[in-house]
Structure 1
């Protein structure tokens, strides 16, 4: 089934014509629980990984753990609509040493499926996103990995890895992605309105307009940030959201070039401020607002993943050389 974003409740360029110069296309992925295959674009499904190629390992030291969630327990609990129970780590297996840990595959995207997906090094047209399932350092930092491939060359490998290796226990149950098929859809986006993301005079007009909207329509009135600029959820390209950190300048560590947003990974697909972006196919037409959204967890939190404290994970790449190290920003 396709997913169709409703028209914006207000034509933002009619109110602020200057925004036309800042318009960018983003591809919403609309992940929904399903059974994707290794040759599909997906969130949380099996990776297209040649059997003879070593699986990626995180070799940094990990924070000690005393308990966690077994992947098989998480899967069983989700199938039953329940919460999994935690288990203690076995002493010899407990993290906190420099033993390598297998990365967890989060998503893979083919350019043939996803409009606007940037090309990788050497014209690579398949990108795979991974996260270490354990934490690092006193601030519980995370480690991510981006793997670029040429799809046609990889698919000629013939023999592929069946099941990816996993750690015995996960620190949190939302480390394990729920396999989701994706429904790519292109929409227009506009910059986050804060600091210097737009000219100061335009930002002031947007703020004044938001205040007038709220005064007239109350808390349900459509505002620029939540309803008109950037959709929630998994998406490729477009503008980054900066709800937690405020706008940041992201430069390539190798050449200092301003970096380009490759993709955004998110846990939640809608909240009270952004519910107007929820597709028609996931709504009950007689109802309005958040009450109209149907499908429960499979629609509001389809992947089962979380990034930080319900933040967005932005993955930036260098437009001059996509082979330069990416940057990861939780915002």
Structure 2
């Protein structure tokens, strides 16, 4: 299965030649629900993790004030509900009474105080092999990037709730067979559906906040620059950072756009997008996802646009930036 982004409506460099030297290659990840292995690039899949390396943990700095749930219950509920989705040409399955009761129990929320406090295991967010991420700069000697997080409000900011691991795969001899799981999940909409990836390199141009004010002002007169000509929507690696949509961007020298550990410059690493396309950026819809497109078993038509079931805020984008000088430093995360 492949994913092919249609050509852009026009070549923006013909109208703005100064953009030609600012083009970057981004890798649209095109996640599709599936069963990735540790040897695959994935979103929400298992990681190629050394058996003798401690699994990262993080203790929330706040007490959840909303009901929480269990990671296993999230996966069980999704499995049962997937069977009820209507496939092309026919109705979905009807759950048995026992399955409906299981679904009811798996859908139950729990008060936070019913679980022990303390550090919780992070969960896999993404795993990217260098072969699947053209345009992404891997530190010398590495060929694998792993991103883990604590599914909570603290995925924003600069805490250890989001962590990176850069690896040389040939050095991983004994692989961890079963990853630890958190005792509870504070934000279930931050738990991705396990997805295989269909990476595709695309050309991008800078968002407004990365341009000088004069050029940005002239480009703003082109209503479709932001939505169709500059930055690809959805999940992607590398490329330009996402546009700021609901807030003003920080100033270029702001601490918010500096490495939280050393204060050095940061750059776009991973974009955790909302939908893969949709108004006002329908033109980014892959050719293979048109009407009557093939879907994974149990995948609804909505899942084609929102395959990971991850929601950032009210449908925004989470931009993960990493330190340019020391990529292993904690990443900066901004909801944009």
| Normalised TM-score (structure 2) | 0.80
Larger CA deviation: 76-85 vs 56-65: 76-85
Residues 1:295 and 1:10: Cα distance change in structure 2 (over 3 Å): farther
Residue of structure 1 equivalent to 2:138: 119
Give the CA deviation at 1:136: 5.6
Is 1:8 the counterpart of 2:8 in the alignment?
yes
Residue of structure 2 equivalent to 1:237: 238
Quick one: distance in 1 between partners of 2:185 and 2:204?
Answer: 36
Count of aligned positions:
301
Give the CA deviation at 1:49: 1.2
Alignment of 1:1-331 (within 5 A): 1-65=1-65, 67-79=67-79, 80-81=81-82, 85-89=107-111, 91-94=113-116, 97=117, 99-120=118-139, 123-135=141-153, 143-154=161-172, 157-158=173-174, 160-194=175-209, 197-210=210-223, 223-241=224-242, 242-248=244-250, 249=252, 250-284=257-291, 296-331=301-336
Partner SS state of residue 209, structure 1:
coil
Give the CA deviation at 1:48: 0.9
Deviations 1:101-146 (A, max 9, x none): 11111111111221122223x5322111111134569x9x992111
Residues 1:12 and 1:253: Cα distance change in structure 2 (over 3 Å): same
Give the CA deviation at 1:321: 2.8
Where does the alignment leave 5 or more consecutive residues of structure 1 unmatched? Answer: 211-222, 287-293
Deviations 1:204-261 (A, max 9, x none): 3222333xxxxxxxxxxxx110011111111111111122333333223455442221
Quick one: distance in 2 between partners of 1:172 and 1:320?
Answer: 32
| Normalised TM-score (structure 1) | 0.81
Partner SS state of residue 221, structure 2:
helix
Higher relative contact order (CA 8 A, sep 6+): 2
Give the CA deviation at 1:151: 1.4
Residue of structure 1 equivalent to 2:90: none
Where does the alignment leave 5 or more consecutive residues of structure 2 unmatched? Answer: 85-102, 294-298
Quick one: distance in 2 between partners of 1:327 and 1:201?
Answer: 28
Quick one: distance in 2 between partners of 1:66 and 1:326?
Answer: 27
